[in-house]
Amino acid sequence: MRKLLCALALLLTACGQQAPDAARAAGNALTPATSPSPPGTKAHAAGIDWFDGSVEEALSTARSQDRPLFLYWGAEWCPPCNQIKSTIFVREDFIARTRQFIAVYLDGDSAGAQRWGDHFGTSGYPTLIVLQPDGTELTRLSSGMDGARYPEVLDLALARNRPVPQLLATALSAPGELAIEDWSLLALYSWAADNGRSLPVDQLPETLSRLAASCPPQLPLLRQRLQLLAAIALLDSEQALPEGVTALLSGITASAEAVRLNLTELQYYGADLLARSTNPGAEEREQLAGQLRRVMQSVFADDSLPIKQRLLTTRLLIDLAELEDMGRAPDLQDLVRQRARWADEQATSPYLRQSLIYNAAWYLHDVGLSQEALAMFEAELERAVSPHYYMSYLSTIEEDLGHADKALTWARRAWEKASGPATRTQWGTSYALALIRLDPSDTASVKSAVVQLLDEMQAGGDGFYQRSFKRMRRLNAALKDWSDSQDAQRRAVAAELRTRLHQMCRVDLGEGDACEDFA
């Protein structure tokens, strides 16, 4: 009952209403999400009690003990993973909630991890999943939520104990049957990490729009969020955005609570939504851009927020400037230079540095300060958690500057420094793709790199699964294009390599359609 009252308080607060007096009297009033450090969020000395054993053993233990599971899928080098480690996994309130679960830390480079990635339908790192004791998935947590939301969503998922696909089906057929808690779970679900588990990816924009239309009017913040997610889901398509997107953005930016709830989405997609909005007048567009800037400046000035969330405001400022062809204006360059210096000074722990220094350096490159970006990345190599990650950015910047030899040197070094089977597959593929792109006439080097990569994959044992499978599809497509040449040797090498890819895929995945692209 205490958890239910707390969860209800969460939802009512998220919807702009007052929490019930009964909950306040019981001492269960929700700490507003605008406070990142409510009582009890100091780092717990013991940390999360991660399960010591295999995923199979964790699933078996969950069934035998009738305990739900919390699954974290991540990687050592992944910046958002390090952001979660440095801000969420150290919160005492989150740690306390995880005591109810069998907590499983599935590193993407551990044995069999990519196969388990396929089993759980993960996509990118990090993916955070809540499962019932029998392994049925309940929900997925967004890696971009405000920190205070994480423990509350865990409470909510357990209190309702209804998988998101069930909630979705009810919302579309009989929305009146859903409780407030259910609408909150739908609005806070990580649709970006759903990966087709709850519905096909191409149905996401329409489905989110229908959810927004069905969301009760007394839940304006949740309805607003669903509308925003529906618009974002359309950005990768050729469909026009609905006419109300500018009004939606205006409404969100007018509310500090709505900004907090949708901060990550605004930072990454605000400028794209503004650019793609249907028929906004020049004055309206300018006013909204100005409002977005003011909101981001206010967020950056809020020292109660995590450093990463504050730094990410720079992303939207750069994107808005680019819309006005001012992406390299001196005042913007000065701002980005100041922000990069600030991030470098503020990020004192290894996890925190891994989570945000690449942002700061890349923003320098974005606004034309490429030499400063290169210097910042190179300075980080000696102390980085995963230096190969920064080397890949060094390669990209050198390629953007037209320095093919330097770009290939950094790409090769990144592969050499990478460790773990899935990570080495990813960075080995990146090097092979760089060779094909930047030095396509060097047939011997392309063949040598791809053969080494495939040899490692066969020895590593995780093969054509999840992220590695996606990398092999990209490599196969590049080899196919590379073979469209008058060079007979190149065509022969490409055919040889693609034949091996096809054979390896069939060994791992069988005779189904998954391997047909390699034929």
Q: How many Cα atoms within 13 Å fall on the side-chain side of residue 40? A: 9
Gap between the Cα atoms of 95 and 358, Å rounded: 28
Residue-level pLDDT at 494: 96
Residue with tokens 């409404």, as numbered in its chain: 251
In tens, the pLDDT along 409-431 reads 999 999 999 999 999 999 999 99
Give percent above pLDDT 90 in the chain.
80
The CA-based dihedral angle spanning residues 86, 88, 236, 430, taken in that order and rounded to the nearest 10 degrees: 30
What are the tokens at 356? 């945000």
pLDDT for the residue numbered 46: 57
Q: H/E/C letters for each residue in 52-106?
A: CCCHHHHHHHHHHHCCCEEEEEECCCCHHHHHHHHHCCCCHHHHHHHCCCEEEEE
8 A C-beta contact, residue 166 and residue 184: no
**Is residue 390 within 8 Å of residue 384, measured between CB atoms?**
yes
Q: What is the mean pLDDT of the chain?
A: 89
The mean-pLDDT minimum among 26-35, 108-117, 251-260, 353-362 falls in: 26-35
Tracing tokens 């907090």 back to the chain, one arrives at 260
- Across the range 443-456, mean pLDDT stands at 97
pLDDT score for 217: 93
* pLDDT reported for residue 20: 29
Three-state DSSP string of 433-495: HHHHHHCCCCHHHHHHHHHHHHHHHHHHCCCCCHHHHHHHHHHHHHHHHHCCCCCHHHHHHHH
For the record, the structure tokens of 289 come out as: 């851009």
For residues 384 and 373, the answer to whether their CB atoms sit within 8 Å is no
Q: What is the DSSP letter of 215?
A: S
DSSP state of 175: G
Q: Summarize the confidence of residues 156-174 as an average pLDDT.
A: 96
Q: Does the structure show a pLDDT above 60 at 514?
A: yes
| % pLDDT > 70, the chain | 91
Instruction: Give the Cα separation of 460 and 456 in Å (integer).
Output: 6
Bridge partners (DSSP) of residue 69 are: 102, 131
Residue 8 exposed, middle or buried by CB count within 10 Å (0-12, 13-18, 19+): buried
Distance CA 262, CA 278 (A): 21
| Structural tokens at position 206 | 């329409």
**At 284, which amino acid appears?**
E
pLDDT band at 263 (very low <50, low <70, confident <90, very high): very high
Other Cβ atoms closer than 10 A to 130: 21
Euclidean distance between CA atoms 151 and 504, whole angstroms: 43
Residue 433's pLDDT is what?
98
At what angle are helices 313-323 and 330-346 packed, to 10 degrees? 170
Q: At what angle do helices 488-509 and 466-482 cross, to 10 degrees?
A: 160
Q: Tell me what pLDDT residue 21 has.
A: 29
- Show the tokens assigned to 119: 């089993």
- Number of other CB atoms surrounding residue 296 within 10 Å: 24
Assess contact for 333 and 369: CB atoms under 8 A. Answer: yes
Instruction: Encode burial over 96-109: b for 16+ CB neighbours within 10 A, e otherwise.
Output: ebbeebbbbbbbbb
Task: Find the length of the chain.
Answer: 519
When pLDDT is cut at 50, 70 and 90, the band that residue 61 belongs to is very high
Instruction: Read off the pLDDT of each residue in 466-484 and give the average, rounded to a whole number.
Output: 95
Q: How far apart are CA 257 and CA 248, in angstroms?
A: 14
Q: How distant, in Å, are the alpha carbons of 27, 383, 478, 490 from that of 518?
A: 60, 40, 11, 17
Mean local confidence (pLDDT), 160-182: 96
13-60 residue pLDDT tens: 333 333 322 222 222 222 334 333 333 333 333 599 999 999 999 999
Task: Give the three-state DSSP class for 217.
Answer: coil
Per-residue pLDDT of 72-92, as tens digits, reads: 999 999 999 999 998 999 999
Token pair belonging to 347: 């990020």
Mean pLDDT check: name the lowest of 120-134, 179-193, 271-285: 271-285
**Cα dist from 135 to 3, 56, 63, 155, 222, whole Å:** 22, 11, 8, 18, 28
